[in-house]
Amino acid sequence: MKTATASAPSNIAFIKYWGAIDLDQVRPANASISMTLSECRSLTTVTFEPEVTSADEIALRDESGRPTTLSDAFRRGIERHLARIRERHQLVGRFSVITQNNFPAQAGLASSASGFAALAVAASSAANLEVDDIELSHLARISGSGSASRSVLGGFVEWPAGEDDASGYAKVLAPAEHWPLSDVIAIVETAGKEVSSRDGHRRAPSSPHFATRQALLPDRLDRVRAAIQERNLDDLGSVLELEAIELHLIAMSSQPAIFYWKPATLEVLAAVRRLRREGLSAWATMDAGANVHVICPSAQEAKVAEALAQVPGVLQVLRDRVGNGPQWHTDALP
């Protein structure tokens, strides 16, 4: 029996994963590029008992460490992920999992990328699997949350649209030290999203704009890779804003349509344009939700956070920045 504890951060996509060629195997329709964060993390302790065949145990703690209720969907997601890890490595044994996010559950931030990345890292160590970064990326991907495959690495990360394991794993484009960027998150909604990203991926090809975006993506991916290499935030920012708008354009025009934005989302987008007119380099992106992530140089993080806190409808502002990926912890979650 072995216990391992690891944490993994969330990430924010500059080029979004939205639509899959194989949703069950989590093969994305397009490559995506993200920045791994530093502060918003999931911490997970996993114990593996070889040969024990009774059901896995799963427990959730709130951000202050107190036991909290596990939703059925959350439990099923973790059970499915553990079953897939067992199947992929032909393991026989029982996992016990305790997991906790350090960001408030009521902040409305998706925790699947950090949660499943932390689970992949801690579970593979508890089960004594010899895994490299490539296999860790696959282990995180088969959770069902494709973005988790990018959170096992630090810095600026690309997850290609590979059709098989030989190519479809995440790679570092540049380490965190390459470019000190921040992600200032304006929370405008605290409830979980009404339509899961899984349903969003499923519906995406029904939008008349899906194919157009796919055709534009090779050029956009090149621009983002070059902007990262050259540390050119004007180039990166213009593409990342376009990408966020198009993800939502596709969501809103899918069948059935999905509306993630709230009125305050538009208020924040207007505030970000205002900040640019005032000379700051602030650029907005959104995942499948109403909250707005504002990417800026870390030197401007405090000013951007102060300005976003004044925007009507903003409930809370979180400050995060590029980070180094998963970490080991010596203390197990009690």
> Where does this chain bind ligand PMV (CB under 6 A)?
13, 16-18, 32, 112-113, 145-147, 197-198, 247, 287-288
Nearest-angstrom CA–CA distance, 60 and 77: 13
Question: Side-chain half-sphere of 65: how many Cα atoms within 13 Å?
Answer: 4
Nearest approach, Cβ of 3 to ligand PMV (angstroms)?
27
Nearest approach, Cβ of 123 to ligand PMV (angstroms)?
18
Q: Which C-beta is closer to ligand PMV: that of 13 or that of 170?
A: 13
Q: Which C-beta is closer to ligand PMV: that of 178 or that of 198?
A: 198
Residue with tokens 């055709």: 215
Nearest approach, Cβ of 106 to ligand PMV (angstroms)?
19
Q: For residue 227, which phi and psi values (nearest 5 degrees)?
A: -60, -35
Q: Which C-beta is closer to ligand PMV: that of 77 or that of 237?
A: 77
Most distant pair of Cα atoms in the chain: their distance? 63
Nearest approach, Cβ of 284 to ligand PMV (angstroms)?
14
Nearest approach, Cβ of 145 to ligand PMV (angstroms)?
4
Residue with CB nearest ligand PMV? 147
Q: For residue 277, which phi and psi values (nearest 5 degrees)?
A: -65, -30
Q: Which C-beta is closer to ligand PMV: that of 23 or that of 266?
A: 23
Q: Which two tokens stand for residue 303?
A: 């000013």
Give bridge partners of residue 181 from the DSSP assignment. 297
**End-to-end CA, the chain:** 17
Q: Which two tokens stand for residue 296?
A: 């800026």
Q: Which C-beta is closer to ligand PMV: that of 147 or that of 265?
A: 147
**Cα dihedral 149, 154, 160, 165 sign:** negative
Nearest approach, Cβ of 148 to ligand PMV (angstroms)?
6
What DSSP character marks residue 322?
Answer: B
Q: Which C-beta is closer to ligand PMV: that of 126 or that of 170?
A: 170
What DSSP character marks residue 249?
Answer: H
